[in-house]
Chains A and B, each alone.
Chain A
Amino acid sequence: MAEKEMKLIVDGKRLDGRKFDELREIKMEVNVLERTMGSAYVEWGNNKVLAGVHGPREFHPKFLRDPRKAILTCTYNMAAFSVDDRKRPGPDRRSVEISKVISDALSSVAVLEKYPNTGIDVFVEVLQADAGTRCVSIVAASLALANSGVPMKDLVSACASGKIDGEIVLDLMKEEDNYGECDLPVAISPRRGDILLLQMDGNLTREEYTKAYNLAVEGAKKVYGMQKKTLLDSMVNLEEGE
């Protein structure tokens, strides 16, 4: 991570006025697209992320089909205009890696055995990015998958913690991510407490890790509450519409 070039904590407060353990504002919605089996839109601070699910559908190439289960593939894509310096369209190494870790996390909870020989494709479009997009994406992807009706053992919730100016804080925003000392994104299966995604880069002692991990899990559990409410509300609306 970048060497420290600016103060990130002034008078005990973060640049955007948040407390150390405070999330940014989060809004979620499901069933936002017409042509997908399931979809979700999440705003998280200045992040705006759309997720949609195609399938289960025929998987290609044929020889890679799995006769025991569906193959779930997540594709994470950032819009060229989603960041300050235009991002060249198309997959780069970072997005390939994020796609893989999100696919891994979702595959850990989806009951893929129900759809042998098929593919389930989850597409994530980052429309505006402001640090923490992989957590936002996984939260959105998990909502979209639930919305599509694919059975899941649990939802996937995620949140990052990190270290700025020597303090462990929750949910880094852009400046904190750029100039902070560490970033620790965590995704969990909230009911079981299992860790489905864990990445870390920067500098943490053993003790700082434990503190940061616990903080991230607390954050993810709050996000889980919002995800559940979003899905339940969407069911209520469905009943009223009929």
Chain B
Amino acid sequence: MNIEEYLRRDYVATLLKEGRRIDNRKLDEFREIKIEKGYSSEKAPGSAFIYLGNTKVLVGISMDVGEPYPDRPESGVMTTNVELRPIASPLFESGPPREKAIEIARVVDRGIRESGAIDLEKLYIEEDRVWIAFIDIHVLDDGGNILDAAGIAAIAALLDTRIPRYEDGVVVRGEWTGKLPVTCTPVPVTHAKIGDKLVVDPNLEEEYARETQLTVTTTDTINAMQKSGIGAFSSEDVDSAIDTSFKKAQEIREIVEG
């Protein structure tokens, strides 16, 4: 049991009963989002550093050439990995990703994959050779809602990504032949349930106080949803979360694409 969590929980919940959030945001208001695309552009084909309030996440995209999946021989490959670095929180430990990191990675992955944001067909090179896009999410400071920060930074980094030159079976580093084909901008929006209220983009204190949360990733349709954490939602909760997600995603999309 985390003592800080235990002590902060009641305060956040009590305040919210009066409709107020601990940092005075509206219930459907995100913290300030700042995105720096091309943060590691000297080396990485694509990257984006995001500040979502206090939460800091750096996403790097690596492009490599490899074999396609046997069942999709003419399609490129994407993989998503999340590293919750120990520097980001006293609660994170070194070592291979555990369930929290894996869940975040898979929800981010689903939003991008299912929306068809990366045009994988265009990543075909020749027989048994396709581009592989590695989305590596490096979490540096946990101020809450790592998932949305990771998902927003991931699509921002993909929009920044260049495809390296590929000659005689070798990837030429530092030379580019064009941009990664990105067709749309999926945006995850996470809703935390605290008491009977839903708030978007929970900060760390709100994460301590939340029972459960729901992430909805949208483009012009819904592409991924994930309920996470112990607790329950009513179907009205989910309906309202979906409507809010479409609205918020559009606002964030303008920041990401801008």
Report A's interface with B, CB cutoff 8 A.
1-2, 66-68, 93-94, 96-97, 99-101, 104, 107-108, 184, 189, 192-206, 209-210, 213, 217
Partner of B234, one of A184, A193, A203: A193
Contacts of B234 in A (CB 8 A): 193-195
Also in contact, A66 and B1, with CB within 8 A (given A108-B232, A189-B232): yes
Do B223 and A201 touch across chains, with their CB atoms under 8 A apart? Answer: yes
Do B229 and A195 touch across chains, with their CB atoms under 8 A apart? Answer: no
A sample of 5 inter-chain contacts (CB < 8 A) reads: A107-B230, A195-B237, A198-B227, A203-B221, A204-B222
Chain B 222-252 interface residues, beta-carbon cutoff 8 Å to A: 222-235, 237-239, 242-243, 246
Give the complex CA separation of A194 and B230 in angstroms: 12
Partner of A195, one of B114, B115, B227: B227
Do B99 and A99 touch across chains, with their CB atoms under 8 A apart? Answer: yes
Listed stretches B42-50, B103-111, B130-138, B147-155; interface member = B103-111
B110, B115, B225 — most chain A CB neighbours (10 Å): B225
Give the complex CA separation of A179 and B227 in angstroms: 24
Do B114 and A203 touch across chains, with their CB atoms under 8 A apart? Answer: yes
Report B's interface with A, CB cutoff 8 A.
1, 71-72, 97-99, 102-103, 105-106, 110, 113-115, 212, 214, 221-235, 237-239, 242-243, 246
Contacts of B221 in A (CB 8 A): 203-205
Give the complex CA separation of A205 and B242 in angstroms: 11
Give the complex CA separation of A139 and B36 in angstroms: 45
Give the complex CA separation of A100 and B98 in angstroms: 10
Q: Shortest Cβ distance from B67 into chain A, in angstroms?
A: 15
A contacts with B: majority SS: mixed
Do B230 and A198 touch across chains, with their CB atoms under 8 A apart? Answer: no
B contacts with A: majority SS: mixed
Which residue of B is nearest A100, CB measured?
B99
A68, A199, A205 — most chain B CB neighbours (10 Å): A199
**Other A-B pairs, 8, CB within 8 Å; known A96-B103, A201-B110, A213-B238:** A1-B114, A104-B228, A104-B229, A184-B225, A189-B232, A192-B232, A195-B235, A203-B115
Give the complex CA separation of A196 and B98 in angstroms: 22
Contacts of A99 in B (CB 8 A): 99
Also in contact, A199 and B226, with CB within 8 A (given A93-B106, A206-B246, A210-B239): yes
Contacts of B228 in A (CB 8 A): 100-101, 104
Contacts of A204 in B (CB 8 A): 221-222
Contacts of B242 in A (CB 8 A): 206, 209
Also in contact, A199 and B227, with CB within 8 A (given A204-B221, A210-B239): yes
7 smallest beta-carbon distances between A and B, as pairs? A194-B232, A200-B225, A198-B227, A107-B230, A195-B233, A201-B110, A100-B99
Give the complex CA separation of A99 and B105 in angstroms: 15
Give the complex CA separation of A100 and B237 in angstroms: 22
Do A202 and B235 touch across chains, with their CB atoms under 8 A apart? Answer: no
Contacts of A97 in B (CB 8 A): 99, 102-103, 106
Do B225 and A195 touch across chains, with their CB atoms under 8 A apart? Answer: no
Do B238 and A201 touch across chains, with their CB atoms under 8 A apart? Answer: no
Q: Shortest Cβ distance from A168 into chain B, in angstroms?
A: 13
Q: Shortest Cβ distance from B223 into chain A, in angstroms?
A: 6
Do B102 and A201 touch across chains, with their CB atoms under 8 A apart? Answer: no
Which residue of A is nearest B234, CB measured?
A194
Contacts of B226 in A (CB 8 A): 101, 198-200
Q: Shortest Cβ distance from A39 into chain B, in angstroms?
A: 23
Partner of B103, one of A100, A196, A202: A100
Do B233 and A200 touch across chains, with their CB atoms under 8 A apart? Answer: no
Q: Shortest Cβ distance from B52 into chain A, in angstroms?
A: 23
Q: Shortest Cβ distance from A227 into chain B, in angstroms?
A: 18
